[in-house]
Structure 1
Amino acid sequence: MRTLFPEIENTIGSFDFKNIPPERKSILLPLVVFIQNRVNTLQEIRLNFICTHNSRRSHLAQIWAQAAAAHFGIKNTSCYSGGTEATTLFSVVTKTLKESGFKIETISEGQNPIYSIKFAPNEQPIIGFSKTYDANFNPESKFAAIMTCSQADVGCPFIAGAEKRIPITYDDPKAFDNTPQQFEKYQERSVQIATEMFYVFSQINK
């Protein structure tokens, strides 16, 4: 188990796996099985979280999953994200992650900014930006494709190179953009995704 930033550890302390409904745990089970099989056979664990625009849910899932793997000491885990198209990592997502204790710096400005996202003092940062799921930045083979939105799951029936395709879909917080509840709803979705990703990695026997 590795030490994350204290603010993130505090956030993790609020997670309650008992609040995950049984039907959600059934949806998460194939991801648990995929990771466990990789651990048992001493193989690299590559997880590519995919949604339509790679702007919100897929990034939240990638970042929280990478932090969860470090927290539980599941070695050789690399988490990625992509979309069926590239747009931009939405600014409220980075704001939400900062609120949870991640240290985020902008590496490159522009229409599709590039961010350094750190979750622990001695771990490499995650490089966050919007990209397609098959971009050069992402793995070409031997990975699990985790579909985080139903639109991408339906519209992209075949993911080249994916060893396993696992639908784990989430409601889009974009529905609350430009409303008074925006930040609250992004935090709510972030906590849901984080709790489920930490639950998944808590189930892995090393």
Structure 2
Amino acid sequence: MLYAEIKSTIQSFDFNQISEERKSVLQPLVDFIQNKTSNRQEIRLNLICTHNSRRSHLSQVWAQTAAAHYNIKDVSCYSGGTEATALFPMVAETLMLSGFKVKTISEGSNPVYSIKFSANELPIIGFSKTYDDDFNPESGFAAIMTCSQADGGCPFIAGAEKRIPITFEDPKVSDATPQQKQIYQDRSLQIGTEMFYVFSKIKQ
């Protein structure tokens, strides 16, 4: 059961706003998850961006939440970067605005966050790491490239069963501007809408 505030956020998701062109970009992810579900196999998604600081975390959190919402079993969502930096604080703030409960577990140059979408589900652990960090799966996962730099700069992801580019514009362009909060919120809601669209397509 998702938190009420998140349920209220997802009521604003309109799949009709996703263009046909964008739906064709999302289709390989639908196919990957459907294939695993039909064969009763575990579904591991590793959402990858350059710095594992913004888009990859938003994608990881929304994908895991969508799996819970549509009751798709055995889904584990991870995130990573081509380098480790830190989860950008505005991402945590943006998720809280959508109803997630975010707690800082440890401070420092690369803080660790607990991100909860439901009172009775395990939290998502959010911190910046490389895609091949020990925290992430070693094999049998789909590598979802959420930024074109990581997609272009990583021709090979070791252990990935499938590689799927689903790129999003970087909300970082709005940092230190008055539009920052709005642009992060817009990007988060776009990612949320698309991840929920993907999981809504899965037949069990």
Q: Which category of TM-score, normalised to the shorter sequence, fits these structures?
A: over 0.9
Describe how 1:88-107 pairs up with structure 2 within 5 A: 88-107=86-105
RMSD: 0.3
- Counterpart CA distance in 1 for 2:101 and 2:8 is 15
Residue 178 of structure 2 corresponds to: 180
Aligned: 1:201 with 2:199: yes
Q: TM-score by structure 2 length? A: 1.00
**Once the two structures are aligned, what percentage of the paired residues are identical?**
72
Question: What are the superposed Cα offsets for residues 47-103 of structure 1, whole Å, 9 maximum, x if unpaired?
Answer: 000000000000000000000000000000000000000000000000000000000
Letter in 2 for 1:194: G
Describe how 1:1-206 pairs up with structure 2 within 5 A: 3-206=1-204
Query: SS of the counterpart of 2:122?
Result: coil
Letter in 1 for 2:14: D
Letter in 1 for 2:187: R
Task: Return structure 1 stretches of 4+ with deviation > 6 angstroms.
Answer: none
- Counterpart CA distance in 1 for 2:19 and 2:155 is 27
Aligned positions, number: 204
- Counterpart CA distance in 1 for 2:56 and 2:19 is 21
Letter in 1 for 2:113: Y
Letter in 2 for 1:42: R
Query: SS of the counterpart of 2:133?
Result: coil
Question: What are the superposed Cα offsets for residues 161-184 of structure 1, whole Å, 9 maximum, x if unpaired?
Answer: 000000000000001100000010
